[in-house]
Amino acid sequence: MKFRDTTDENQHAVALMKAQKLGDIIKIYSHYGTEILYTESAKTIHVSLSNKLRPVKENEVLHAVTHLVHTTPDKVDIFMTETQTIHIHLKKS
């Protein structure tokens, strides 16, 4: 699975997230309608996955955990909101 880095194409969204102090590092990725927002600060890594056309697939969540957060699912908190957005949260040691 290949998520494309679309951060440069979304500079307005990145600027808004930085203004809200959501993280020091902010990246946006896209793959067949699934959007990933990645934020990292000194204390946490947070990833949000959403797709307006269909539910986010389990393998997309696993890809985000292993390739962006660089860990395994048992080491992160994963939850879904009412809007079907998947959130992945990792506190750094």
CA atoms within 13 A on the CB side of 12: 0
pLDDT at 23: 84
pLDDT at 55: 95
pLDDT at 36: 96
pLDDT at 90: 97
Q: For the CA atoms of the chain, what is the radius of gyration?
A: 13
Parts of the chain with a pLDDT under 50: none
pLDDT at 58: 95
Q: What is the rounded distance in angstroms from the CA atom of residue 45 to the CA atom of residue 23?
A: 8
Amino acid symbol at 57: K
Q: What is the rounded distance in angstroms from the CA atom of residue 48 to the CA atom of residue 26?
A: 12
pLDDT at 45: 96
pLDDT at 82: 94
